[in-house]
Amino acid sequence: MPASIPPGDPQQVRDLFDRIAPAYDRLNDVLSLGLHRLWKRQAIAWLRPAPGQRLLDLCCGTGDLALVLAEKVRPGGLVLGLDAAAGPLELARQRARMQPWLPLEFRQADALATGLSDGWADGAVMAYGLRNLADPALGLQELRRLLQPGGRAAVLDFNRPENGSGFTAGFQRFYLRQLVVPLARRAGLEPQYAYLEESLRRFPRGDQQEQLAAAAGFAQARHRLLAGGQMGLLQLVA
Ligand SMILES: C[S@@+](CC[C@H](N)C(=O)[O-])C[C@H]1O[C@@H](n2cnc3c(N)ncnc32)[C@H](O)[C@@H]1O
């Protein structure tokens, strides 16, 4: 396996996403056959965004979810996208400039220490972010703190299969090693994408995510499998 970036190191993770930012959206479309849009739609469906709401997109990257949500909170609402890395945020801002009517802001911030007040948000999403945080349990605590009581959150990410030798885990390994890494190599981003498998190794399984969310104070937490168990959607109510 190629040398990868160590997961959980905030500086190195930030550098990684700065490095892949220009290729990220294209590779995402190719590697998921565009299906990431479908999974993101499922996250939004759980959130039930409504006009006037204040919503957060944590680890927003190039702003896929924030842009869709901003359309849905009009009129009167606001979507704030936060990301630790400047590169993806610059692309998110460029995309937002194409639709200047959207109530949308992007800020550089760590999802573990956003600096926002308690209950700032009516709802929140985090797509493919939790796995990258130095401590996912702290990420869920910060997410809970930021939500109004009753507020919903959707946390979308790869699923770490329970049975490491089962079909789902085998398919995931094949997908990551035989498809993702070789394609990333062609884009000159092999270690950056080898990181994906490393980060999954330390990522809590679905049932563990539910427990961490309950410990963080969420009233409801349910981890739903998507894409035949390749992806997971943690559906939360504060
Ligand atoms: C895989 S990308 C996902 C981007 C976007 N949410 C999407 O689904 O397309 C993960 C993002 O999380 C950001 N990130 C990693 N660690 C972070 C942290 N501690 N706080 C905020 N953002 C972080 C990265 O910079 C990167 O843009």
The answer to whether residue 4 sits within a structural domain is: no
Q: What is the pLDDT of residues 155-208, one digit of tens each?
A: 999 999 888 778 899 999 988 888 888 888 888 888 888 888 889 999 999 999
Whether the Cβ atoms of residue 201 and residue 214 lie closer than 8 Å to each other: no
Mean pLDDT of the region 113-126 = 98
Mean pLDDT of the region 209-231 = 97
Q: What is the pLDDT of residues 123-158, one digit of tens each?
A: 999 999 999 999 999 999 999 999 999 999 999 999
| Residue to mutate (ligand 1; options 12, 13, 17; most atoms within 8 A of CB) | 17
pLDDT at 1 over 50: no
Bridging pattern class, strands 231-237 and 220-226? antiparallel
End-to-end alpha-carbon separation of the chain, Å? 40
Q: List the single range of 2-16, 186-200, 222-236 with lowest mean pLDDT.
A: 2-16
> What gap in Å lies between CA 82 and CA 108, rounded to an integer?
6
**What are the pocket residues of ligand 1 if the criterion is a CB atom closer than 6 Å to any ligand atom?**
10, 13-14, 17, 59-61, 64, 82-85, 88, 110-112, 127-129, 132-133
> What gap in Å lies between CA 27 and CA 184, rounded to an integer?
8
pLDDT at 212 over 70: yes
The answer to whether residue 3 sits within a structural domain is: no
The answer to whether residue 152 sits within a structural domain is: yes
Confidence of residue 48 (pLDDT cuts 50, 70, 90): very high
91 alpha carbon to ligand 1 midpoint, in Å? 13
Residue bearing tokens 């092999």: 190
The answer to whether residue 5 sits within a structural domain is: no
What is the count of structural domains for the chain?
1
The answer to whether residue 2 sits within a structural domain is: no
188 alpha carbon to ligand 1 midpoint, in Å? 20
Which helix H or strand E contains 54, and what residues bound it? strand 54-58
Bridging pattern class, strands 78-83 and 104-108? parallel
Confidence of residue 52 (pLDDT cuts 50, 70, 90): very high
pLDDT at 3 over 70: no
pLDDT at 4 over 70: no
> What gap in Å lies between CA 175 and CA 230, rounded to an integer?
10
Domain that holds residue 185: 10-237
Mean pLDDT of the region 72-86 = 97
CATH number at residue 91: 3.40.50.150
The answer to whether residue 190 sits within a structural domain is: yes
Identity at 133, one-letter amino acid code: L
Assigned token pair, 108:
């550089």
Indicate the SS3 state at residue 228. Answer: helix
Q: What is the pLDDT of residues 67-76, one digit of tens each?
A: 999 999 999 9
The answer to whether residue 97 sits within a structural domain is: yes
